Amino acid sequence: MNCHKNVYITTPIYYVNDVAHIGHAYTTIIADMLARYSRLTGKKTFFLTGTDEHGQKIEESAKLRGKTSKEYADEVSGKFRALWDDFDITYDKFIRTTDEEHKTGVQFAFEKMFNKGDIYKGEYEGYYCVSCETFFTEKQLIEDEFCPDCGKPTNIVKEESYFFKLSAYEDKLLKWYEENPDCILPRSKKNEIINFVKSGLRDLSISRTSFDWGVKLPESLNEPKHVMYVWLDALLNYITALGYGNDDKNMEYWPANIQLVGKDILRFHAIYWPAFLMSLDLPLPKHIAAHGWWTRDGDKMSKSKGNVVNPKEVADAYGLDAFRYFMLREVPFGQDGDFSQKALMDRINSDLGNDLGNLLNRIIGMSGKYFEYKVTSKDVVKFHQKELDEVNEILSGIEGYIYNMQLNRYLEEIWKVLTIANKAIGDYEPWTKMKEGKADEAMALVSLITNIMAKVALLLDSVMPEKISKIAQCIGLEINTQNYTKIIGNKELLEDVTITKIEQLFPRIEELLLEQAKPTDVATQPAKKEEKLEEAIEEDNLITIDKFFEITLKIGTIVEAEEVPKSKKLLKLQVDLGEGRNRQILAGIKESYSAKELVGTQACVVANLKPAKLMGMLSEGMLLAARDENGLNLVRPEKPKISGTKIS
């Protein structure tokens, strides 16, 4: 890593379909730590984050909220950016896929791949998960038509599409994995990717015509009804942010050193992304690093459970720097982590309060009591060469942990150094030295501790910048590249310093500062006085708005209808939902409607219902109807609508 003049660090661009949660904060804090450390050590650094704003899911979410797609994207993207600014995230660019220069760059890349022969026109038919914006083969589905990633129903899509020749890059990808052992971190994740690629890659559908919220294809193709598949659009942000396809002004930073992703999107970054780059004749990233997920108090987080961690609430209650330290220290990178206030309090009280904060307090106390806050390093080597050697040995390879994504190990090594410092005070008892008239030895001890604190401050600045700035103020240290080189790189000692008293950095926390997560399910709520209201809630079987949004309702046009033999109730209908093919739906409405009168009429259809067999025939949806004492009636639009129109 040291041989690289430039350092480029990226987070995934976050999908604007929800507010920022602890997983987003985790990724961004890691990236910010890497960027801060790289800058401090003298590397020219570019740190990218941003938001992913195109796709069918965004279009549908915007409509449900009565907003245009751009209005909805502006709103959610703004919240992400505001949170990162509040967290003092030091990004160099915040990219949005709705930026004009991004669109231009994506179109440039598409045209280049097309001209190379890696993109061709065809027709796609298969299963598509709107929630994951992902296509699947029938073999990949869990059972029937459910997404293997999120478990939600998929839609059968048949439409004209442009395809990327992903299959042509299978051998090249396997060669890249083999020749670059650390291209995917942690290494254990790479085996999953290799096995997936070895199972065979299908060409990738990279355009859609069933919606229009996305980047249009290049004008040279004259395909106005096509928009790019959201993952092609999104992945290219990592180079369009550097000016690719425009002015190339920051392309000197490519290839990226570390591209951070969650483990759920590793496949897109470790297969599709390098294949796109190969097609564009661009070098591949050095490391694609996939982190794990976070639970809360041992449970998976979900809105329905009411246990989603709001990162801003935690940072406001416990302090941003303490939150950053906890996230980076608590779990090895790549593994799943568990957030609990108890664990956070333990880290604050033990690691930060006792080990770090109290050590600084002892420097302040001893220097003030014995030496009027004046500390000199002239005798440190004479009396404490052993401790200096131990510290320098520990720190000699510490940068390797940073760029190999062993961030918890990096912090563990720093805490070993703090242990040496705290132990030295007990071993040498400076108060006894003063009683014995050995002020020079006592001074050497205080100076040893101060020098160790200087090293620790420089190494922790990327982790806890606000608290470290106070430590640096206390020991008269400037946090800059020059001092990093002198004190960490060259192992030099501080010149004479004057200690400045500061307030306690990490006051002890005795009780939880936030309310514990409470289940939101009605059945688990305490009994209320309004028993009638409670009974009504239970009878109505209320669901959350999120559950309702999982239902896809569309206008369907009945193009064919016939009776089902031997059935008193069923009609077999062929219904057009704007999908390029008709759905077969069996409806129990024969007693209320004749087959003939239904042809050419419209009805409201539940379009993402799991298909079922009735009397040996497949039914791919359900018509909505209402029945009372006057009989049954289909739910229909007031005026004719285009087949497939979403109901919201």
* Per-residue pLDDT tens digits for 292-319: 999 998 888 877 677 889 999 999 999 9
Tens digit of each residue's pLDDT (9 = 90 or more) over 505-552: 999 999 999 987 655 443 333 333 333 333 333 333 455 555 566 788
- Partnered with residue 47 across adjacent β-strands are 9
156: pLDDT strictly greater than 80:
no
> What is d(CA 370, CA 450) in angstroms, rounded to the nearest whole number?
14
pLDDT band at 181 (very low <50, low <70, confident <90, very high): very high
Would you state the pLDDT for residue 179?
Answer: 97
* Total Cβ atoms within 10 A of residue 48: 24
Cβ 442 vs Cβ 433: under 8 Å: yes
17: pLDDT strictly greater than 50:
yes
246: pLDDT strictly greater than 60:
yes
136: pLDDT strictly greater than 70:
no
Would you state the pLDDT for residue 534?
Answer: 34
Helix axes 22-40, 320-329, angle to 10 degrees: 90
Cβ 412 vs Cβ 442: under 8 Å: no
The arithmetic mean of pLDDT across residues 583-597, rounded, is: 90
pLDDT band at 144 (very low <50, low <70, confident <90, very high): low
Q: In the chain, what percentage of residues exceed pLDDT 90?
A: 73
Tens digit of each residue's pLDDT (9 = 90 or more) over 110-123: 999 999 999 999 98
Would you state the pLDDT for residue 600?
Answer: 87
Would you state the pLDDT for residue 137?
Answer: 59
- Beta-carbon contacts of 124 under 8 Å, excluding residues fewer than 6 positions away, are 135, 157, 158, 159, 160, 161, 163, 205
Would you state the pLDDT for residue 520?
Answer: 43
pLDDT band at 189 (very low <50, low <70, confident <90, very high): very high
* Total Cβ atoms within 10 A of residue 118: 20
pLDDT band at 614 (very low <50, low <70, confident <90, very high): confident
Tens digit of each residue's pLDDT (9 = 90 or more) over 411-463: 999 999 999 999 999 999 999 999 999 999 999 999 999 999 999 999 999 99
Q: Is residue 604 a known part of a binding site?
A: no
Count of all residues that appear for the chain in the document: 648
CATH topology of domain 340-498: Isoleucyl-tRNA Synthetase; Domain 1 (1.10.730)
Cα dihedral 30, 36, 40, 46, rounded to 10, equals 110
Would you state the pLDDT for residue 629?
Answer: 64
Domain locations along the chain: 340-498, 551-634
Tens digit of each residue's pLDDT (9 = 90 or more) over 459-492: 999 999 999 999 999 999 999 999 999 999 999 9
pLDDT band at 19 (very low <50, low <70, confident <90, very high): confident
DSSP-derived 3-state class of residue 510: coil
Tens digit of each residue's pLDDT (9 = 90 or more) over 49-96: 999 999 888 988 899 999 999 999 999 999 999 999 999 999 999 999
Q: Establish whether domains 340-498 and 551-634 are of one fold.
A: no
1: pLDDT strictly greater than 60:
no
Would you state the pLDDT for residue 299?
Answer: 83
Tens digit of each residue's pLDDT (9 = 90 or more) over 346-392: 999 999 999 999 999 999 999 999 999 999 999 999 999 999 999 99
The arithmetic mean of pLDDT across residues 553-564, rounded, is: 91
Pairing of strands 631-634, 625-628: antiparallel
Cβ 572 vs Cβ 561: under 8 Å: yes
The arithmetic mean of pLDDT across residues 212-227, rounded, is: 95
Q: Is residue 183 a known part of a binding site?
A: no
The arithmetic mean of pLDDT across residues 280-290, rounded, is: 98
Cα dihedral 443, 446, 447, 452, rounded to 10, equals 160
Q: What CATH code would you report for 551-634?
A: 2.40.50.140
- Beta-carbon contacts of 598 under 8 Å, excluding residues fewer than 6 positions away, are 558, 561, 571, 573
The arithmetic mean of pLDDT across residues 13-17, rounded, is: 89
Would you state the pLDDT for residue 357?
Answer: 97
Would you state the pLDDT for residue 124?
Answer: 73
> What is d(CA 62, CA 67) in angstroms, rounded to the nearest whole number?
5
pTM for the full predicted model: 0.77
Tokens 């990633």, residue located: 149
Q: Both tokens of residue 289?
A: 């690093």
pLDDT band at 632 (very low <50, low <70, confident <90, very high): confident
Would you state the pLDDT for residue 540?
Answer: 39
Query: Which stretches of 475-553 are DSSP H helices?
Result: 481-483, 531-540, 545-549
Q: In the chain, what percentage of residues exceed pLDDT 70?
A: 91
| Average per-residue pLDDT for the chain | 90
**Burial level of 464, CB count in 10 A (0-12/13-18/19+)?**
buried
